Structure 1
Amino acid sequence: MAYDADLADRIRQALSGRADSREVKMFGGLSFMINGKLAATANTHGQLMVRCDPDRATELLTRQGAHWPEMRGKPMSRGWIVVDASALASEKAFRSWIQEALNYNKNATSE
């Protein structure tokens, strides 16, 4: 299973020091679990998929490079967003997406 190794390293670094994180190959990429719940995934196209608050999805989709993810050609449910690699170039932008995932993860009830 191929995924963007550089992006995976960035996610790994952002989550370093967290005892509650682990990596799992899924969704055609490398996913990062926090507290047993999916938070972010590095995919094969250098895109970051994050799990976010469904109530914030509409607002988050207005950010540069953000769009609804698809699974097998069908849109995924609210609460998942894919961010294009070009929109992750700055460390500030990248960290803001990771923080969105971590903020929601605190209240999420399942994977």
Structure 2
Amino acid sequence: MSASEEREALAARIRAAISATDVREMRMFGGVGFMVNDALAIAAEHGGSALVRTDPALREDRLRRGAIPAVMSTGRVMGDAWLRLPAALLADDAELADWVAVGIHAGDRLREQGE
């Protein structure tokens, strides 16, 4: 399976895992981003990896679960609210659904804080 096919397969699995009603898909950064209530929650990337928004206060816990810091193509870390999820971490549908919930919850917290 090509990297693009893996990205599209992951995007299909994310669609199935999102139960929120206000979801919009956007092509971005070479991937498929899922905006929930106008905040990017998660994005399917080439090769079946994902970019997910997280609550910065829970970042260390998420890193212990196998996420890695999200880095831009320039090598700069994106910030404490963004993590990359290797494809192997998303092989299980229940695990994927949990990471989707992480992204949605982080976006909800931003709105609550007025950011």
Q: TM-score range by the shorter chain?
A: 0.7 to 0.9
CA contact (8 A) 2:18 2:97 kept: no
CA contact (8 A) 2:70 2:83 kept: yes
1:46 paired residue number: 48
Q: Which amino acid aligns with 1:70?
A: V
The more displaced of 37-46 and 92-101 is 92-101
1:20 paired residue number: 22
Long gaps (5+) in structure 1: none
Long gaps (5+) in structure 2: none
What is the alpha-carbon distance in structure 2 between the residues aligned to residue 102 and residue 36 of structure 1? 10
1:100 paired residue number: 102
Relative to the length of structure 2, the TM-score reads: 0.85
Q: Specify the SS of the correspondent of 2:47.
A: coil
Pairs aligned (count): 108
Relative to the length of structure 1, the TM-score reads: 0.88
1:91 corresponds, among 78, 90, 93, to 93
1:77 paired residue number: 79
1:62 paired residue number: 64
Q: Specify the SS of the correspondent of 1:5.
A: helix
| CA RMSD of superposed structures (Å) | 1.8
Any runs of at least 4 consecutive aligned residues in structure 1 with deviations exceeding 3 A, and if so which? none
Q: Specify the SS of the correspondent of 1:77.
A: coil
Matched, 1:8 2:11: yes
What is the alpha-carbon distance in structure 1 between the residues aligned to residue 104 and residue 39 of structure 2? 10
Please state which structure has a larger fraction of its residues in helix.
2
Q: Which amino acid aligns with 1:68?
A: P
